[in-house]
Every structure is written in C-alpha cells, then in structure tokens.
Chains A and B, each alone.
Chain A
Amino acid sequence: MDNIIEVKNVTFEYDSADTSARQVLRNFSLSIARGSFTVILGHNGSGKSTLAKLLNGLYKPTAGAVTVDGMDTADEAHEIDIKRKVGMVFQNPDNQLVASVVEEDVAFGPENLGMEPAEIRLRVDEALKAVDMYDYRKSAPHKLSGGQKQRIAIAGVIAMQPECIVLDEPTAMLDPRGRSEVLDTLVRLNREKGITIVLITHYMNETEPADRVLVMHDGEVIDDGRPREVFSHIDTLKRAGLDLPQTTDLLYRLRQAGLSVPEGVLTVEECVQALLPLLTEVR
C-alpha cells in the first residue's frame, strides 16, 4: 500500500534534566496509508502528542527517521514542502488563529506559500465551504463557538491543499455539539476529498469513522487494527487507561457473565441487534 508518512525506528527525547521523563518514544515505527482515516488513542502522557508533532517535522527525531512522501523531516530543505503536505490542528482553538477576520486567517497559510492573490482567494473560499463556515468569512474568531473556531483552524490547513491532516486532540476542549461538528467535517474531508486523516484523541466514540485504530501506552503501540478488532481487545483498552464505550462495556460484562454476545460491538444499532436475541429467546 502507498504510504504518505513513514516513521522508522524513531526515538525521541526531550531536553530535560529528569532522565526518566526524557525518552518519550523508543524505536518507534509506524506508517500511515494515503487516504486512510487513522485514530490514535491513548491517555495523557502516552506519547501521542509527541508523535503528532514528529509527523510534520515540528519535532525532529533524536534517532531514526520520519519521511513524508519520501522527504526526510530532518532535511531543512524540505521543511516548507512537508508542512504544506501534512497540516496540523491543535487542541486549543484560540491559540492557533492568527488574524481577527476569519477569511484572513484562512488565507494565512497560502499567503506564506507566496501564492498569487487570486489563487489564495479561490482556495480560501473553497476551504471555508469545505468546513461549512463560508457564511462566517467576515466574522471575528473570538465571537465564534469552540467547534466553529476549530473548523476555521481546519480550513486554514485545507487552504494549503495538504494531503494529510494531523489533529492533536482537536475536540478535547469542545462541547458535544462542537465535537460532532469537527468529527463530521473530518469524515467529509476524508471521504470526499481523499485527505488522509490522523486523529489523536482519548474519546473512544471518535473511532467510529476510522479504518484503523492505534492504541498507545507508554510510548508504544499496544494495539493496532480495525475499530472492531481493537474494541474486542477489552483488556488492552483497559490497560491503556481508556474508557470503553458503554455499549462495548455492557456486552463485555454480559459475556463475562456467561451470555453469548458478539465481540467488537461499537454503535448503538449494533448493540441493539446483539441484545435482541438475548431478550426475545426468554419469551
């Protein structure tokens, strides 16, 4: 399969006096397939944010190499190219918007790339439409909701026409409504525009649209597979300090109690289907 990002035997250390906390990743390898929707799960301090920042060269590996489309992130000559190809969205929507008018903020990336004004205009409009925020193009960011601000941040990345977007806990500070706005936007970008999505989160229900889920714990990947597979490995999830979705948790406990129910159940509908036979056979 064609990979957009390759992480090979990467070790990453922070400059810190405290030796125990220094090494975040050790001999870490990972490849991200072009066009995929990958969710990386892990609790705070599992190394997932560090990994995110390695993917576009914001951090450089201490040992090993990260390549984007064959370009080494440690090679300064490719710096701009890599950052354009792999866009990044962070947790706090307030701290990544630069301009006080929405459309000017979205234009920031293309402006830095030195594009022609007419081309920038085109891309900005297109990006704002892609995140469904075109009507707000003249607004001031501080008047928008968290979910809307985060969509503007995504638009700012899309305007650079990236191949991949890495999002580091983009929904952690949002309310449920904002969370689903952002998630829906990501799904659309992945399905309609073929943009590769790497979503880092600790919300289990955000894995639903993923075609691959990685579970990180102490700087290592302890599970990797389709959402259903990962969700059938209950013990691994618990070890990683993650919340089981209520549906998965219920069926897990019923299974433990000796009832026969399927594994890897995620959505409400699946859970209903799994429970129906249990409840109708009695009568």
Chain B
Amino acid sequence: MAFLSVENLTYTYGQNTPFEKTAIKDISFSAEKGEIIGLIGHTGSGKSTLVQHLNGLIKPQSGQILLDGTDIWADEKKIREIRFRVGLVFQYPEYQLFEETVEKDIAFGPTNMGLSPEEIKARVYAAAQSVGLREELLAQSPFDLSGGEKRRAAIAGVMAMQPEILIFDEPTAGLDPAGRDQILENIVKYRDATGATILIVSHSMEDMAKVAEKILVMNHGSLALSGTTESVYAQADALVGMGLNVPQITKVFLALRRFGIDLPLVYTVDGAFDAILSFRKGGAPV
C-alpha cells in the first residue's frame, strides 16, 4: 500500500448551476515516503483543485484519498489533523503573513496543533533554519522582510507543522533566479532531512527537471501523463501538444535526433553536457 494513494478523484464546481465546470476527473496516483513529485499543467488544468483535496480543504465528490491506508475523510471531525499531516503552501504564500513577528507567524501552525511552548519554539527555529532565515529575522515584523525572505518565512510556517506530506503550489512564482534557486534547494534539503513526501505544482518544466523524481502532468482536468521524470520528459511531443514548455535543451536534443544523431533525451544542462561529451568520445550514448 502506497503512503499516499489518490483514487478516482472527480470534482465539479457549481454542480447543478449554469456555472458548472468539471475541474478534475478520475484522477488516480500514488506517492511513497520521501519522493519529490512534480505536478505540471497550465493554468486551469485542475492542479489547484487537486492539491486542495489532498489536505482536506475540498471534500471529494467522488473517489477517495488514502493516507497511510486510511481515508482522510473517515472521521470528518478529524480533518484538521489531516491538515497538520499534509502541509499545503499556497501560491504567493507571503500574502498570508499576519503576525507581529516572524517567529509568531511561523508558530501559528504549531500553536494550532496544541503543542507545548518549548516544542513550538524548537520547531520554529528548525523551520527557520530549513529555509535559511537568519535567526535575528525572527524578532522582526514579517512585513519588513524582503520579498524572497517573506516567501521563505511563509514556507517555514507550514514546515514548522512537520507534515509528512508537503505540497507547494508554484513556490517560485514571481521570484528572480536567485530566489527561485534558493527555494528549490530548501525544498530538497527539507526532504533529505525529514524524509517527507514533496509535491510541487509548477508550470516550469525546467525547474521540475532539476528537482523532481516523478512527474504528473495534468491536462483539462485529467492526468495525462505520469511516471519517472525521464519517462515523462521523453514524451516531449505529447507535452508540446498540451501547450507545455518543454525545456529548451530537450528541444535542442529532439532536433538533433531528427538529424539522425543517436543521442539520449536530456532535460537538464548537466545531462546535455555529459551526453555530448560521451557521444564525442565515440562511445555509445549513456
């Protein structure tokens, strides 16, 4: 039994109204502990609806979500506890900061969990460290931080709950390259340290190529492709067909292969570099 198992999830907004719109249909997938999964699809493909199901913000209309083998809606009164186990960082999470100090803001989740003051404090410091927030920032108002720091403080607020599954909705949206790289790095480090399952919603295939081990691709509310990062990116033509931006480097290699050059399909610059060098050594592609 997988750690997280989503079975035949379907959800329609505004059922029986003129605005009726099916957001997701018949979605099934599973995730194991410690995996980093990229969820790709363009705006309106149903990604946000799907992730809000996973922590019980939306109740499934049909299908179910099993966490460690138990339906998360088995006991409706305990849905808040599910949210502590499945953390969700929304898009532009810095807009939800509200406390007087960064420390208090990060403590909001742990406090809601009813933990002891010592435990809360320990978790706040650990979370701040996970996202690389300097300790002296904890006493400051979150509104005095820079854009990138605000984003990281907000992420720490969810990490401090120490969820077993951590979901990020477009964690790098609107950041510059330095800010983006730092956040992606923090996420991978957090997984390495805690063994949590990570799900990242993104429309950047380049970012996902760097961090994700498995990829889910959503298109018009359905799960169009899923599998290891290699196997999904290998279907570049299908991805382009869905209006997704395949990494530039993958496009280059696709074109080279059309010239009859026997190269493997790559999706990162590192991979491309290695592939070209080993090809030139006259050897068979790796």
Residues of A at the B interface (CB closer than 8 Å) are 43-45, 91, 145-146, 172-173, 175-178, 202, 205, 241-243, 245-247, 249-250, 253-254, 257, 259, 268-269, 271-272, 275-276, 278-280, 282
Among residues of A, the one whose C-beta sits closest to the C-beta of B178 is: A241
A259 to chain B, nearest CB (A): 8
| Chain A residues with CB below 8 A from B261, complex form | 276, 279-280
Instruction: Show 9 A/B contacts (Cβ-Cβ < 8 Å), sorted by A.
Output: A44-B148, A45-B146, A175-B43, A176-B42, A176-B203, A202-B176, A245-B248, A279-B256, A279-B263
Number of interface residues of B (CB under 8 A): 37
Of the candidates A243, A246, A278, A280, the one whose C-beta lies within 8 Å of that of B247 is A246
Closest approach, in angstroms, between the C-beta of B226 and any C-beta of chain A?
A: 20
B206 at the interface (CB under 8 A from A): yes
B58 at the interface (CB under 8 A from A): no
Contact B279 A44 (CB under 8 A): no
Within the complex, which residue of B177, B244, B272, B277 is in contact with A43, where a contact is CB–CB below 8 Å? B177
- Interchain CA distance A37-B259 in the complex, whole Å: 35
* Identity of the chain B residue whose Cβ is nearest the Cβ of A174 in the assembled complex: B43
Q: How near does chain A come to B276, taking the closest CB pair, in angstroms? A: 7
Beyond A145-B43, A175-B42, A241-B178, is A246–B248 a contact (Cβ under 8 Å)? yes
Which of A175, A205, A254, A272 sits near B256, CB closer than 8 Å?
A272
- Hey, which chain A residues are within 8 Å of B13, CB to CB? none
Complex-state Cα separation, A91 to B147, whole angstroms: 14
Given A245-B248, A275-B256, A282-B178 contact (CB < 8 Å): no
How far does the alpha carbon of A45 sit from the alpha carbon of B148 in the complex, in Å?
11
Q: Which of B236-286 contact A (CB under 8 A)?
A: 243-245, 247-249, 251-252, 255-256, 259, 261, 263, 269, 272-273, 276-277, 279-280, 282
Report whether B276 and A278 are in contact in the complex, using a CB–CB cutoff of 8 Å: yes
In the assembly, what is the distance between CA of A282 and CA of B251, in Å?
A: 22
- A198 and B280 CA atoms in complex are apart in Å by 43
**By the criterion CB–CB under 8 Å, are A246 and B176 in contact?**
no
Contact of A253 among B44, B243, B245, B269 (CB under 8 A): B269
Q: Which residues of A contact B204 (CB under 8 A)?
A: 176
Chain A residues closer than 8 Å to B252, beta-carbon distance? 246-247, 250, 268, 271-272, 275
B276 and A202: CB pair below 8 A? no
Apart from the given pairs A176-B203, A205-B248, 20 other A-B contacts in the complex at a CB distance below 8 Å: A44-B176, A145-B43, A173-B173, A175-B42, A176-B204, A176-B245, A241-B178, A243-B177, A246-B272, A249-B269, A253-B273, A257-B273, A268-B251, A268-B255, A271-B248, A275-B252, A276-B259, A279-B276, A279-B280, A282-B280
A11 to B282, CA, bound (A): 58
